């Protein structure tokens, strides 16, 4: 049984309750039943022997019942002794045998906890077999398995093997998914147009001024960075077992066939016509593409025609949402609800810094389109200049006027056939790339969306969504409307309630 947030195994709980009852009965009998009775000597010996035999039998049955129906209850607030729901879900979904051999360091308390977590995970599904080995006590087993590091799990299934080092049950769950994956999945990041650096390891932090900032405004204050990047996202994808490659699309005639998903993260300069043709040919052959086209990026006519056939075209504008946004910046559009789709099935609150709206178009006849997310009905649209235009012209001294526009589509997912003869393809178009950059990827559900996009495009949406833990400072992120409600409650309602209670006490004592 798991407590608070996990499914309760009521049958095992019943056996545990029965054990408690049996122990209580034994205790009661031990207190009240006499060991000696009157009568003949053989009768006294028979009584004493019967009491001892019955007591031992009841104790043995109680212990056997408890051992065969082990019950786990974790009453700690942090659930420190319970595997995460994601890890348990991965184990519960197993349909093929998996063996995990954990080589742990006996003196490491984190490794001891990992042993307990693996044992609890094995209790969830008979298809998961877990063995633990202390290399200091059993060095031959570690040498035979080829494991030369401590706190490493050797995960095996159907002749495949994966070694995961760590003490986190989420890493073990990801390792189980990796070893069950029967194919290599390669993610090809397009480069050559000043896209976000996939190898970037830096932390990028914005320091908001009193009036907010714009992500394409040179006056924005940025600290602790040498440039935007998606290094955090890349490291998470590699942790999930995906292969990462860089794809200089301008130097290849066709997209390599081994690229399962092509990703274009925040290009700044316009593509060449040959690149657009290569991407179209790749999609017609059944490929998958994630296009993250941020503010100011100008689509080459061939690329614009392709994304129009997918169902939408990015507008040269930025969405301004005065009602639903993160913090005090109305251009950091907050989204608290998503349309039904496998990508966003378990996503709640996300935000998109400097997002451009998507103008819906009539897709190709064989393409079905799903709107993934939109801004609130109070949204406005502010025109922005293309990046090339801003690079050669002086910055205008007057600000563009916001135009009331209502809900704006921020992302779509398309699947189907671009032509009747083409293979089924998948594609996602998002009017923002900042939300999965190093600055914003770990916060709220941004990482869940980023990983959901890749899983769906890689046709792995049926897998239990698991992501490695990303260390971030403890923060409470709220939308502007949530901040207003909190302010009214703390500054207005609570003082008035205290005053009202004081008046009631005064009136009753008057």
CB 262 within 8 A of CB 269: no
490: pLDDT strictly greater than 60: yes
Distance of CA 371 to the CA centre of its chain: 21
Looking at residue 508, its pLDDT comes to: 83
Query: Is pLDDT at 354 greater than 80 in this prediction?
Result: yes
Distance CA 121, CA 115 (A): 10
> Would you say 2 and 8 are in contact if contact means Cβ atoms under 8 Å apart?
yes
Q: How far apart are CA 384 and CA 395, in angstroms?
A: 11
State residue 307's pLDDT score.
Answer: 96
Look-up: residue for tokens 């935000």?
351
- Per-residue model confidence (pLDDT) at position 287: 96
Domain ranges of the chain: 10-68, 85-180, 186-457, 479-510
Question: What confidence score (pLDDT) does residue 10 get?
Answer: 64
Count of beta carbons in the 10 Å neighbourhood of residue 380: 19
**Global model pTM greater than 0.75:** no
**pLDDT reading at 395 higher than 50:** no
**What pLDDT, in 10s, does the model give residues 241-286?**
899 999 999 998 899 999 999 999 999 999 999 999 999 999 999 9
Angle, helix 41-68 to helix 10-32, in steps of 10 degrees: 160
Which residue(s) pair with 102 in the sheet?
132, 153
Helical H segments across 153-230, by residue range: 169-180
More confidently predicted of 449 and 5 = 449
Distance CA 168, CA 176 (A): 13
Please give the structure tokens belonging to residue 353: 């810094």
What pLDDT, on a 0 to 100 scale, did the predictor assign at position 229?
Answer: 87
Output Rg (C-alpha) for the chain, integer angstroms: 30
Summarised one tens digit per residue, pLDDT across range 214-231 is: 444 443 333 344 457 898
> What is residue 486's predicted lDDT score, i.e. its pLDDT?
77
CA distance 284 to 423: 6
Categorize the per-residue pLDDT at 358 as very low, low, confident or very high, splitting at 50, 70 and 90.
very high
Would you identify the CATH topology of the domain 85-180?
A: Glutaredoxin (3.40.30)
Does the pLDDT value for residue 351 go beyond 50?
Answer: yes
Q: Is 1.10.3720.10 the CATH classification of the domain at 186-457? A: no
CA distance 467 to 174: 8
Tokens of 51: 């009491």
**Contacts with 215 (C-beta within 8 Å, 6 or more apart), sequence order:** 295, 331, 353, 354, 434
CB atoms within 10 A of CB 505: 10
d(CA 136, CA 133) in angstroms, rounded, equals 9
Cα 164 to Cα 170: distance, rounded to the nearest angstrom: 11
* Mean pLDDT along residues 473-501: 74
């Amino acid at each position: 049984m798991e407590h608070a947030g996990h499914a309760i195994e009521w049958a095992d709980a019943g056996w545990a309750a029965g054990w408690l009852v049996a122990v209580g009965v034994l205790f009661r009998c031990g207190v009240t039943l006499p060991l000696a009775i009157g009568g003949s000597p053989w009768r006294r010996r028979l009584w004493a022997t019967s009491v001892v035999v019955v007591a031992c039998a009841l104790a043995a049955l109680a212990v056997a019942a408890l051992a065969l129906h082990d019950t786990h209850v974790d009453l700690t607030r942090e659930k420190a002794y319970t595997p995460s729901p994601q890890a348990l879900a991965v184990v519960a979904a197993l349909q093929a045998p998996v063996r995990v051999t954990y080589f742990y360091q006996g003196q490491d308390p984190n490794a001891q906890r990992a042993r307990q977590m693996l044992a609890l995970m094995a209790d969830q599904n008979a298809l998961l077999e877990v063995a633990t080995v202390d290399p200091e006590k059993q060095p031959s087993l570690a040498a035979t398995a080829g494991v030369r590091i401590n706190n490493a799990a050797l995960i095996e299934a159907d002749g495949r093997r994966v070694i995961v080092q760590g003490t986190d049950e989420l890493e073990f769950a990801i390792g189980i998914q990796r070893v069950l994956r029967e194919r290599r999945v390669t993610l090809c990041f397009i480069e050559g147009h000043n896209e976000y650096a996939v190898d970037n390891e830096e932390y990028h932090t914005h320091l908001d001024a009193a009036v907010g900032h714009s992500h394409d405004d040179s006056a924005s204050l940025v600290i602790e960075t040498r440039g935007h990047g998606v290094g955090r996202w890349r490291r998470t994808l590699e942790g999930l077992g995906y292969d990462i490659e860089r794809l200089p699309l301008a130097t290849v005639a066709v997209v390599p066939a081994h690229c399962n998903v092509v990703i274009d993260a925040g290009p700044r300069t316009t593509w060449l016509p040959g690149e657009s043709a290569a991407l179209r040919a790749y999609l017609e052959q059944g490929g998958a593409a994630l296009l993250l086209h941020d503010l100011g990026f100008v689509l080459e006519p061939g690329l614009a025609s392709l994304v129009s056939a997918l169902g939408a075209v990015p507008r040269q504008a930025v969405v301004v949402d005065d009602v639903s946004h993160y913090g005090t910046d109305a251009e950091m559009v907050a989204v608290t609800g998503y349309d039904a789709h496998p990508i966003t099935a378990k996503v709640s609150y996300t935000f998109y810094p400097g997002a451009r709206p998507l103008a819906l178009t009539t897709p190709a006849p064989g393409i079905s389109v799903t709107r993934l997310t939109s801004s609130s009905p109070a949204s406005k649209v502010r025109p922005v200049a293309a990046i090339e235009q801003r690079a050669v012209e002086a910055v205008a001294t007057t600000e563009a006027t916001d135009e009331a526009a209502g809900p704006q589509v921020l992302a779509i997912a398309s699947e189907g056939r671009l032509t009747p003869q083409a293979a089924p393809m998948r594609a996602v178009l998002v009017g923002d790339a900042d939300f999965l950059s190093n600055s914003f990827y770990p916060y709220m559900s941004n990482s869940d969306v980023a990983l959901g996009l890749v899983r769906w495009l890689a046709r792995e949406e049926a897998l239990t969504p698991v992501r490695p833990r990303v260390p971030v400072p403890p923060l409470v992120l709220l939308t502007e409307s949530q901040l207003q409600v909190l302010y009214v409650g703390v500054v207005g309602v609570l003082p008035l309630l205290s005053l009202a209670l004081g008046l009631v006490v005064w009136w009753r004592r008057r």
